[in-house]
Structure 1
């Protein structure tokens, strides 16, 4: 583990933000998303071709990520984009997607290995007095996000905010995503540490004043080095947090 150390000060409220996929949930993102898309496409059989579905889904996802309209939640941005790209009314689309999340999505768990360390690490942070935010990419509805939280046994922990398609207006890697978390909970970003496995999506939290820890277990790095304050394995996080923001 490699960390920068920072001087302590007065007792303060400290907040740790955890990414989910590839950080607490041990999953190779591209591998999982392939299974996710193929399974969802099956529910649209007879409604649209696989290629048309794939084009609409990927296009709507990219447009949602890049949407910076503070007046539109991610769910609304995705719905508008998917309907426009697919040519289907959203009132016809959403019942299909909703049924998929209820029936098929939980079965994707077979593609994700167990990770007992996830709950143990987060519990240690709670014991040290850290408040919790699950700062996962908000491209999935609440039901799907809660399902993945169950896969690594962190769903019952005291999360103050879980970012989802339903409650956020911005996505990673935009700094606006992290500012929205800060504003929603009334946080001081200098008392926050973002923990994630994606160099560009998670370490960008530095741009709003947060400290950062890069988890290297399932590292994603597209080339732009955002100089994390600390880097190492997930199990190193509880010890590292006290170096980044001393109690």
Structure 2
């Protein structure tokens, strides 16, 4: 029995150039850290890249949150303690005031057609609705992108982010951890996502995926456009 529906964010609920957004974020954060620490900006940017690769590594065995691992690697690479209160406050201010203005231009952020209808359908069915976005950035960055998509935090029972996750997509450990926080098991959930690699757990853990991207993955229980999902979602839930 399906008790919860999990939605991916980027290119699922929100249309955007994710690579451009992440580049803007790293460029802006690295510029601040460069001026505060005197370290070379390009080295800080490279440290962020290494940290994100470590967060997503299949071989990962630590029990750090993703935020803690990012902080650890950036410190090892640059000597900058991101968890120092003064530096953390500076980055938090950047994420609250600057990041929400990054959606224009090359990022091209706009609501995905059909996304609001699909989320409302889940609520109308009385199911738990949660945001299972890849947790490599902060809660504040997730919320900024949610707003670009036309949603707010109240639309979701839980939002995965770097602060509350110890693994990332596509690893089963991420999905098991996220579902556990919701009080459900993976086989009681449906995942809605556009990424044929990240939105299907590896290895399989019982979670089934509705695919709203451009491919036709065999593991998907339904494939199509987000704009076509809401009318068929009640049937998919009832038969899953």
- Normalising by the smaller structure, the TM-score range is 0.7 to 0.9
C-alpha displacement of 1:235: 1.9
C-alpha displacement of 1:41: 2.6
Query: 54, 78, 81: which is aligned to 1:63?
Result: 54
Matched, 1:149 2:141: no
Matched, 1:24 2:13: yes
C-alpha displacement of 1:190: 2.2
C-alpha displacement of 1:242: 3.0
Query: 179, 183, 189: which is aligned to 1:182?
Result: 179
C-alpha displacement of 1:74: 1.3
Asked if 1 retains the 8 angstrom alpha-carbon contact of 2:16 and 2:110, the reply is: no
Matched, 1:98 2:92: yes
C-alpha displacement of 1:146: 1.4
1:29-68 pair list within 5 angstroms = 29-46=18-35, 47-66=38-57, 68=60
Matched, 1:161 2:155: no
Segments of 5+ residues of structure 1 without an aligned counterpart are 1-11
C-alpha displacement of 1:121: 2.3
SS at match of 1:48: coil
Q: Distance in 1 between matches of 2:39 and 2:212?
A: 39
Query: May I ask how many residue pairs the two structures share in their alignment?
Result: 231
Matched, 1:241 2:233: yes
Deviations 1:26-66 (A, max 9, x none): 11222222222222232233332232011111011111222
Cα distance, 1:206–1:226 mapped onto 2, change above 3 Å: farther
Asked if 1 retains the 8 angstrom alpha-carbon contact of 2:129 and 2:155, the reply is: yes
Aligned to 1:73: 65
Q: Distance in 1 between matches of 2:44 and 2:19?
A: 18
Q: Aligned-residue CA RMSD in angstroms?
A: 2.4
Q: Distance in 1 between matches of 2:21 and 2:232?
A: 29
C-alpha displacement of 1:183: 1.9
Cα distance, 1:95–1:226 mapped onto 2, change above 3 Å: farther
TM-score by length of 1: 0.83
Asked if 2 retains the 8 angstrom alpha-carbon contact of 1:194 and 1:213, the reply is: yes
SS at match of 1:55: helix
C-alpha displacement of 1:180: 0.5
Aligned to 1:7: none
Q: Distance in 2 between matches of 1:188 and 1:238?
A: 23
Matched, 1:107 2:101: yes
C-alpha displacement of 1:70: 5.8
Deviations 1:184-222 (A, max 9, x none): 222132231111111110022781111111112xx5x7x
TM-score by length of 2: 0.85
